[in-house]
A and B are shown apart, each in its own frame.
Chain A
Amino acid sequence: MTLSSTLTKAPSPAGASGTGGAAARVARRRALLNWVAVHSLAIAAALFFLLPFVFAFLTSVMTDQQALTTDYWPTSWEWGNYGKVWDTPGFLTWWRNTLLYAGLGTVLTIVSSLPVAYALAKFRFRGRNLALMAVIAMMMLPPQVTVIPMYLFWAKQLGLGGSLWPLIIPMAFGDAFSIFLLRQFLLTIPKEYIEAARIDGCGDLRTLLKVVLPMAKPAIAAVALFQFFYCWNDYFGPQIYASNNHDAWTLSYGLESFKGAHHTNWNLTMAATLLVMAPVIILFFFAQKAFIEGVTLTGVKG
């Protein structure tokens, strides 16, 4: 996707006569005014989006006393606040749990969803539309709808309450959103590649791994990012299954308890908040392209 290339069209009004003179000067002035207006708006919008980060950051390096005031600017820069948060009992465990949940969840999701998406995109079979509709229905289902039986199933029948396994294991059985997104992408792969592989004697699994997988890398990257972020951000899941066991909490779940449970001030709370945001944002900078392509893919295709 080339987003920037299309945006660089010079502001030349259509139908301007090439003779220069007054008309061209007016047009140039209008273009300049337009530029100023657009960019002032953009700067105002940028402030709206950035200031919350800035205020959170400034507060995160204040002293305990100053964080109780209405000051914007820290008088002394207490970088040690980040160390204090890091050393909070449990914080490191929450990190480990979150990484396990997000890492394992992402891998399982990709492995289980790709073949399903491939079948839905490229195989022809009776009931395919019905299966696709079921995927979409599952994708749109609020997790709260099924949570009571699911909780009873995992906690009462399998005794896995107080852990994150009830959240990780289902990802080995396909994730509706990932299946849908991968399918949308696989539709764009021309049939000829797959037929050529078949003529060369490739089985279906080999075709998927050797031909389709390399071509689907951008979509797989997008799905992996989405799934990682989903797990990282998940609050409801850990609340249901892990709330009674501190050692199984994730960052998103633990963070909410931070201010209350530790009787901490806003400065440490903001430091913790930024520490939870940081990995996601860093990951985004490394994989910006894949991510934005993925968001577009979730939109309407075709």
Chain B
Amino acid sequence: MSLAFGTRKGTGSPAPAAPSTQHLLRRKRRREAARTLAFLSPWLIGFSVFFLYPLISTIYFSLTKYNGFGAPTFSGLKNWDYVFNDLPAFWQGLRNTLWLVVIMVSLRVVFGLGIGLLITKVKTGVGFFRTVFYLPYLAPPVAATVAFAFLLNPGTGPVNHLLGELGLPQPGWFSDPTWSKPALTLLAMWGIGDLMVIFMASLLDVPKEQYEAAELDGAGPFQRFRYVTLPNISPIIMFSVVTGVIQTMQYYTQAIVAGKVAGGIAGNSGQQFEPGYPQGSTWTLPQMVYNLGFQRFNYGAACVVALVLFVISMAVTSILLRRKSGFMASDD
């Protein structure tokens, strides 16, 4: 990337000016370029050292055999071949991620919109409800996951106890491969506060006149939602889906902590834990980078998975970069 720090010219060529004025203008421009450079400098360093350099290194390491000791030796596409063809766990991680993208993200968006709608309709105790709905979002992910591992533990957990008293089936949640992802989804829906606030703000921004006009035309509540609310908030829905997918690509802490606590592994004792417990059902690509790199010291293969993660994330991000999303809006 090459950034040129000149100021953009106004319109056309500058009017012919006396040499001294032109000289001044050039000096001014150079000063402005220096100023821009100075203001941007922290980030220019950060971008090069913490983004460009490691990204290029990751590409390089993905083509080498390296375990952290000695020097990396070039091995061509061997790591890529290994990950794609000889590492079934890679495809399992990808499938789990897809599951989370389809089910967890869509349920979160629908639930967030529902809670956002609900809070705009509440007339008594708005402040109370808003705070209560928002609060779980603030719970640190590790703490929230440990709490859910307790709530949902199949033996003495209050949730299963309650289900038992109601005569309902008691799933194994984090200990059962078919229920572990639904349990994580439940945890994700508990922390819906961010989406609630975004939807609430956008719902309150819908022009009141449009509702009144629709009502005069005889539209019922569902029609008003379908023809007035939805078109108005669809950019926000799009935004929350895309950011949800990006977050899911990074899904790590909750999955790994749930697996470790439910699997009864003695925490960070250095003991190897079964990745994606139970039976790889909570296994995601970020965990695979950790597992391959820091537990199996196969840096080359870890870098391959990291690059897959990079490509998917950037492909999704490019949707956000389209002008419509408002991300790139500027004031001139």
A-to-B contact residues, CB < 8 Å: 1, 3-4, 6-8, 11, 14-15, 35, 38-39, 41-42, 45-46, 48-50, 52-53, 55-56, 59, 67-70, 72, 112-113, 115-116, 118-121, 123-138, 140-153, 156, 170, 172-174, 179, 187, 191, 204, 229, 232-233, 235-236, 239-240, 243-244, 249, 251-261, 266, 269-270, 273-274, 276-277, 280-281, 284, 288, 292, 295-296, 298-302
A253 interface neighbour in B121, B142, B202, B325, Cβ under 8 Å:
B142
Query: Hey, which chain B residues are within 8 Å of A170, CB to CB?
Result: 46, 49-50
On whether the beta carbons of A269 and B260 are closer than 8 Å, the reply is no
B155 to chain A, nearest CB (A): 8
On whether the beta carbons of B268 and A119 are closer than 8 Å, the reply is no
A72 to chain B, nearest CB (A): 6
Q: Which of A11, A35, A140, A274 has the most CB of B within 10 A?
A: A140
Q: Contacts A125-B33, A261-B269 hold; do A140 and B46 have CB atoms under 8 A apart?
A: no
On whether the beta carbons of B122 and A42 are closer than 8 Å, the reply is yes
On whether the beta carbons of A255 and B142 are closer than 8 Å, the reply is yes
Alpha-carbon separation in the docked complex, A261 to B260 (Å): 12
**Interface presence of B204 (CB below 8 A):** yes
**Interface presence of B267 (CB below 8 A):** yes
On whether the beta carbons of A137 and B268 are closer than 8 Å, the reply is no
Alpha-carbon separation in the docked complex, A41 to B42 (Å): 49
Q: Contacts A126-B6, A142-B249, A149-B57 hold; do A276 and B140 have CB atoms under 8 A apart?
A: yes
On whether the beta carbons of A146 and B142 are closer than 8 Å, the reply is no
On whether the beta carbons of B118 and A42 are closer than 8 Å, the reply is yes
Q: Contacts A70-B158, A142-B249 hold; do A115 and B39 have CB atoms under 8 A apart?
A: yes
On whether the beta carbons of B260 and A148 are closer than 8 Å, the reply is no
How many pairs of residues, A versus B, come closer than 8 Å at their CB atoms? Answer: 353
Query: Hey, which chain B residues are within 8 Å of A69, CB to CB?
Result: 156
Query: Hey, which chain B residues are within 8 Å of A42, CB to CB?
Result: 118-119, 122, 125, 129
Query: Hey, which chain B residues are within 8 Å of A53, CB to CB?
Result: 135-136, 147
Residue of B nearest to A270 (CB): B150
Alpha-carbon separation in the docked complex, A280 to B132 (Å): 15
Count residues on chain B whose CB falls below 8 Å from chain A CBs.
124
Alpha-carbon separation in the docked complex, A251 to B59 (Å): 34
Query: Hey, which chain B residues are within 8 Å of A254, CB to CB?
Result: 268
On whether the beta carbons of A296 and B197 are closer than 8 Å, the reply is yes
On whether the beta carbons of A118 and B329 are closer than 8 Å, the reply is no
On whether the beta carbons of A152 and B143 are closer than 8 Å, the reply is no
Q: Which of B1-42 contact A (CB under 8 A)?
A: 1-8, 32-33, 35-36, 38-40, 42
Alpha-carbon separation in the docked complex, A236 to B142 (Å): 11
26 example contacts (A-B, Cβ-Cβ < 8 A) are as follows A6-B204, A42-B118, A46-B129, A46-B133, A112-B42, A119-B36, A125-B33, A135-B43, A142-B250, A142-B286, A145-B306, A145-B307, A148-B299, A149-B54, A170-B49, A235-B141, A235-B253, A260-B261, A269-B146, A269-B150, A273-B146, A277-B138, A277-B139, A295-B198, A299-B202, A300-B239
Residue of B nearest to A120 (CB): B40
Alpha-carbon separation in the docked complex, A64 to B133 (Å): 32
Query: Hey, which chain A residues are within 8 Å of B266, CB to CB?
Result: 257, 260-261
Alpha-carbon separation in the docked complex, A124 to B330 (Å): 11
A260 to chain B, nearest CB (A): 4
A54 to chain B, nearest CB (A): 9
Query: Hey, which chain A residues are within 8 Å of B140, CB to CB?
Result: 229, 232-233, 251-252, 276-277, 280
Q: Which of B231-256 contact A (CB under 8 A)?
A: 235-236, 239, 246, 249-250, 252-253, 256
Q: Which of A7, A42, A240 has the most CB of B within 10 A?
A: A42
Q: Contacts A140-B320, A236-B253, A256-B146 hold; do A302 and B132 have CB atoms under 8 A apart?
A: no
Query: Hey, which chain B residues are within 8 Å of A253, CB to CB?
Result: 142, 268
Q: Contacts A49-B135, A125-B8 hold; do A148 and B61 have CB atoms under 8 A apart?
A: yes
On whether the beta carbons of B42 and A156 are closer than 8 Å, the reply is no
B5 to chain A, nearest CB (A): 5
Query: Hey, which chain A residues are within 8 Å of B121, CB to CB?
Result: 38
Q: Which of B46, B134, B190, B306 has the most CB of A within 10 A?
A: B46
List 14 additional contacts besides A70-B158, A259-B261; criterion CB under 8 Å.
Answer: A49-B136, A56-B150, A118-B39, A133-B328, A140-B316, A141-B313, A147-B293, A152-B57, A173-B46, A255-B142, A255-B143, A277-B144, A296-B201, A300-B236
